């Protein structure tokens, strides 16, 4: 069945230009044909050990964000350096560029994306390109283009070429009418941000392509992800990263959420390992295609209390960002991830004390090195 709508160059430019009259942009329809065949779900590279010929060839879009570089490092260690390609529209740092294959890729450019998949014989596609919650609310046309139009290109290419596709979802895929404590895998969602709406769209489209065309689609709803070696990227849970940098730098932090705002969180190492595990899981172990995963749940005040156990003079103050607070108040307070734990053995390693110790040690050592230089 012919599928896919994509933007002409002119329409894309209109969407990417803030303040433009996006509703007047010319839209052209290009059709791509592929058979509604069943893509083999249980590929040979599910086993714990891999031979050289069985290694997947992985493309990561949006690879220079919070998660892409870390996932590439993990996958390269497992599958070999040349088998994992990072891609983005931004120029990589020298360190990232020399760490393994990197290629320019714009997910709104269907032809370029398709050429990359074909020329590099890609078998796994990890789609990290997206605008996060707070940034998306500030530029809805851009978020719609990247998070929805870009996704459509990814889905069509993945289905056409029989790829295993991972698209992350988020706590932001739920809304104020969702059960919040805990939030199960299946419930009413109805998010109120363009980021959340686009992620529900991704979940449903991916599952539709799986059932209709046999696409091997896999999705995890990430909680707030905390990492020491990346800067906040415009998300509502960013305070839980920034607080550690400020605690080391100045001993003080101004939080833009209320002290009792409870949200599910996860250390990045757990997040990346979960992503690899769901991609390797045999298809017959998956009772669904979109799973919650969780590790811990805390408030800003609880996090500050844990930090004070190691930095007794640490001070926190509050200056609310009404947009981010409204977003946080519509999100889950805690995730029910029993299906992931039962189906494919998900288990987190980091609780709050381990998280705080790891973050402070890492950022503290980096700060000492910087001062020494």
Q: What residues are annotated to the active site?
A: 195
SS3 for 342? helix
Q: Which residues are paired to 224 by β-bridges?
A: 265
Q: Which neighbouring-strand residues pair with 61?
A: 127
Give the integer Cα–Cα distance in Å for 278 and 287.
Answer: 12
Distance (Å, whole) CA 210 – CA 131: 24
The string of DSSP codes covering 247-278 is: HHHTSEEEESS-TT--EEEEEHHHHHHHHHHH
- Contacts of 111 by beta carbon, 8 Å cutoff, 6+ apart: none
Sequence-distant (6+) residues with CB within 8 A of 371 are: none
Q: What separation, in Å, do the N-terminal and C-terminal C-alpha atoms of the chain show?
A: 60
Closest CA to 269 of 293, 289, 287, 250: 293
With b for 16 or more beta-carbon neighbours within 10 A and e for fewer, the 212-237 pattern comes to ebbbbbbbbbbbbbbbbebeeeebbb
Q: Which residue has the tokens 């839209």?
A: 27
Alpha carbon 49 to chain centroid, angstroms: 26
Separation between Cα atoms, residue 60 and residue 65, nearest integer Å: 11
Under DSSP, the state recorded for 146 is I
């Amino acid at each position: 069945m012919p599928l896919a709508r994509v933007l002409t160059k002119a329409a894309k430019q209109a969407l990417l230009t803030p303040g433009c009259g996006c509703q007047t942009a010319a839209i052209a329809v290009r059709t791509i044909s592929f058979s509604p065949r069943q893509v083999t779900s249980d590929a040979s590279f599910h086993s714990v050990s891999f031979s050289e010929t069985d290694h997947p060839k992985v493309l990561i879009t949006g690879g220079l964000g919070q998660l892409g570089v870390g996932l590439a490092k993990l996958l390269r260690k497992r599958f070999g350096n040349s088998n994992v390609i990072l891609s983005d529209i931004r120029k990589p740092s020298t360190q990232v560029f020399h760490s393994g294959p990197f290629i320019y890729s714009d997910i709104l450019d269907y032809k370029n994306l398709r050429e990359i998949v074909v020329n590099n014989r890609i078998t796994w596609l990890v789609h990290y390109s997206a605008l996060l919650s707070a940034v998306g609310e500030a530029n809805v046309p851009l978020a719609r283009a990247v998070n929805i139009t870009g996704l459509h290109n990814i889905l069509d290419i993945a289905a056409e070429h029989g790829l295993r596709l991972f698209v992350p979802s988020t706590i932001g895929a739920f809304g104020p009418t969702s059960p919040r404590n805990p939030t199960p895998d299946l419930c009413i969602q109805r998010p109120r941000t363009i980021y959340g709406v686009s992620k529900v769209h991704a979940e449903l489209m991916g599952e539709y392509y799986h059932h209709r065309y046999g696409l091997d689609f896999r999705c995890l709803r990430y909680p707030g992800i905390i990492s020491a070696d990346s800067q906040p990227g415009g998300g509502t849970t960013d305070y839980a990263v920034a607080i550690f940098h400020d605690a080391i730098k100045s001993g003080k932090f101004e939080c833009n959420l209320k002290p009792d705002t409870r949200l599910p969180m996860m250390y990045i190492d757990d997040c990346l390992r979960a992503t690899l595990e769901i991609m390797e899981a045999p298809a017959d172990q998956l009772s669904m295609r979109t799973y919650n995963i969780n590790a811990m749940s805390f408030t800003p005040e609880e996090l500050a209390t844990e930090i004070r156990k190691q930095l007794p003079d640490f001070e926190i103050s509050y200056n609310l960002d009404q947009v981010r607070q409204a977003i946080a108040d519509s999100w889950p307070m805690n995730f029910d991830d029993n299906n992931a734990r039962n189906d494919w053995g998900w288990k987190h390693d980091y609780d709050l004390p381990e998280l705080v110790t790891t973050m402070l040690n890492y950022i503290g050592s980096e700060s000492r090195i910087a001062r020494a230089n």
